[in-house]
Amino acid sequence: MNIHTQPQRTPAETALIDAFGDRLSLLPGDGAVMLKRDDAIEAIKHGLPTRRIESWHYTDLRRLLSVVPDFDPTAMAKVFAPIVEGSAVLPVLNGKSDVKVPVLDGVTVQSLSEKLVDGSIAPGLDPYGSDDAIGALNTAFVADGYFVDIADGTELEKPIELQNVQAGGQTHVRLAVRVGAGAKAVIVERQAGDGAALVSSVSQLVLGEGAEVTWLIVQEQPETATHLAQFKAHIGKNAKLTLFVMNAGGKLVRQEVMVKTTGEGADFKLRGINLLAGDTHGDVTMVLDHAVPHTTSTEVIRNVVTGKARGVFQGRINVHQYAQKTNAKMACNTLLLSDDGEFSTKPELEIFADDVVCGHGATVTEIDHDHLFYLMARGVDEKSARGLLVKAFVAEVIEELDDETIVEALEARLDEWFVTHG
């Protein structure tokens, strides 16, 4: 129970604090940026969040983060072929952005280190709140990434793929994107690599009036990596954001999604697939703020848990007092396929306006025996029948994305996961 205890610093906490001291002189930015970094490391000095912190209830970071690897500036990381052919690739390799980036009409690309040096990114470095450990960790250590500005009215034909490729050690990256009024874009955020790394990655997206963006997060870290990521977005008037998250790797993974509708008519769609196998701990935490009237959102999360994996989905929909006529729906469905696996979910509604229609549903179950019987009665063996049903369960979410090339590309990633994890 809540007996007073004097917390002792864990080895991971000590390692982070020491690393900050060592890295300090190498981190870009001074003045305002430096102040933010100092505040952030102060927050870490107070201790990583435990299950006593409500938003970390199912992911006790203090306990789970046991090892913090050292920075390894010499490690090499290689660019991946993009998920969708022909995409413009902006790679961050072992925490460093590439100087030679493709030139696209209407798109301005800057390395984030430039923005840190000139201090213009400083206001965006504030963590979300006192429990925002990922924000604090990233703010303290972030050294590079990209700032992408898509000009008003630009319609990109091919996706932009932001690749964060780690090579072991620590990687702290920030990807900031501004999409101007009426612009249209598909952005892929690829999180991968091949080391026992600690990765923190924060993506920031601002959508201008009437902009339309599909943002795909594809996380395929190796089974040794700790991946702590945050996606933050502001959706302007009549703008539409479709966020697709696919988690298919990592040892300890937390993907936070913090979205706010800031203009009337804004629409947000979240589609998520969490494929959890082996000894993975995978957590998707969403906080959605409906801050203005007449905005809509739907969220569908599908989870598959096998092996000894532990899955978490927390989703909170906040409807502010003046956000009348909000329409928000959230569903979280989980297939729990092994007795050693576990899944916890907390779908919250926090509603301060009366003229709203909000709902959520959540289920946790195993494969429907009737469905299995149906297939097996037709001569499909049990293993294949199960595979078919599980795949159909998650593929349904992918198929909702209208772009065929994207659907095909994601289904290919899905197939790959099923091949490795059977």
Partner 1 sequence: MPAVQDTIDRVRKIDVDQYKYGFQTEIAVDKAPKGLSEDIIRFISAKKDEPSWMLEWRLEAYRRWLTLDEPTWARVHYPKIDFQDIYYYAAPKSTPGPSSLSDVDPELLKVYEKLGIPLREQEILAGVQKTDASDLEEPSDNVYKSGRVAVDAVFDSVSVVTTFKKELAQAGVIFCSISEAIREHPELVRKYLGSVVPTSDNFYATLNSAVFTDGSFVFVPKGVRCPMELSTYFRMNEKNTGQFERTLIIAEEGAYVSYLEGCTAPQRDENQLHAAVVELVALDDAEIKYSTVQNWYPGDAEGKGGIYNFVTKRGDCRGDRSKISWTQVETGSAITWKYPSCILRGDDSSGEFYSIAVSNGYQQVDSGTKMIHLGKNTSSRIISKGIAAGFSQNTYRGQVSAHRKATNARNFTNCDSLLIGDQCGAHTVPYMEAKNSTAQFEHEATTSKISEDQKFYVMQRGIPEEEAIALIVNGFVKDVIQQLPMEFAVEAQKLIGISLEGSVG
- DSSP structure class, residue 124: G
Q: Which amino acid is at 170?
A: Q
213 part of the interface to partner 1, by CB under 8 A: no
Q: Which of 50, 120, 224, 344 binds partner 1 (CB under 8 A)?
A: 344
Please identify, using beta-carbon distances, which residue of 1 and 81 lies nearer to partner 1: 1
Binding to partner 1 in span 31-60, by CB under 8 A: 54, 57-58
Helix ranges (DSSP H) in 118-181: 133-141
Q: Pick the piece of the chain touching partner 1 (CB under 8 A) from 69-77, 252-260, 354-362, 396-404.
A: 354-362
Query: Taking CB under 8 A as the rule, does residue 374 contact partner 1?
Result: no
Using rule CB under 8 A, residue 364 touches partner 1: yes
**The only residue of 14, 42, 352, 382 in contact with partner 1, by rule CB under 8 A:** 352
Closer residue to partner 1 (CB): 100 or 369? 369
Radius of gyration of the chain (CA): 21
Q: d(Cα 122, Cα 110) in Å, to the nearest integer?
A: 15
Burial degree of 259 (CB within 10 A; 0-12, 13-18, 19+): buried
Name which position in 17, 117, 151, 362 contacts partner 1 (CB under 8 A).
Answer: 362
Q: Which of 51, 96, 269, 360 binds partner 1 (CB under 8 A)?
A: 360
Rounded to whole angstroms, the Cα distance separating 279 from 57 reads 19
Verify binding: residue 353, partner 1, rule CB under 8 A.
yes
Among 105, 354, 402, 404, indicate the residue that binds partner 1 (CB under 8 A): 354
Tell me the three state secondary structure of residue 127. coil
Q: Is 363 in the site for partner 1 (CB under 8 A)?
A: yes
- Which residue lies nearer to partner 1 by CB, 154 or 345? 345
Q: Residue 5's CB: how many other CB atoms inside 10 A?
A: 6
420 binds partner 1, rule: CB under 8 A: no
The per-residue b/e assignment along 197-229, b for 16 or more CB within 10 angstroms, e otherwise, is bbbbbbbbbbbbebbbbbbbbbbbbbebbbbbb
- 10 Å CB burial of residue 125 (0-12, 13-18, 19+) is buried
DSSP label at residue 54: G
Q: Which of 17, 32, 117, 349 binds partner 1 (CB under 8 A)?
A: 349
Binder among 46, 361, 374, 382 for partner 1 (CB under 8 A)? 361
Within a 10 A sphere around the Cβ of 1, how many other Cβ atoms?
A: 2
130 in contact with partner 1 (CB under 8 A): no
Grouping H, G, I as helix, E, B as strand and the rest as coil, residue 12 is helix
Q: Which of 347, 394, 406, 409 binds partner 1 (CB under 8 A)?
A: 347
The stretch among 218-226, 263-271, 347-355, 372-380 that binds partner 1 (CB under 8 A) is 347-355
Which range in 1-9, 224-232, 243-251, 410-418 contacts partner 1 by CB under 8 A?
A: 1-9
Closer to partner 1 by Cβ: residue 101 or 353: 353
> Shortest Cβ distance from residue 276 to partner 1 (Å)?
13
x/- map, 302-341, partner 1, by CB under 8 A: -------------------x--x---------x-xxxx-x
The least CB distance from residue 313 to partner 1, in Å, is: 9
In angstroms, the CA 348 to CA 2 distance is: 25
* Beta carbon nearer to partner 1, 270 or 410: 270
For 199-243, the DSSP string reads EEEEEEEEE-TT-EEEEEEEE---TT-EEEEEEEEEE-TT-EEEE
Which H helix or E strand runs over 380? Answer: none
* Contact status: 101 vs partner 1 (CB under 8 A): no
CB of 160 to partner 1, least distance (A): 37
Q: What dihedral do alpha carbons 161, 192, 215, 123 form, nearest 10°? A: -90
43's tokens = 């927050």
Asked if 296 and 265 touch (Cβ cutoff 8 Å), the reply is no
| Contacting positions for partner 1 (CB under 8 A) | 1-4, 54, 57-58, 321, 324, 334, 336-339, 341-366
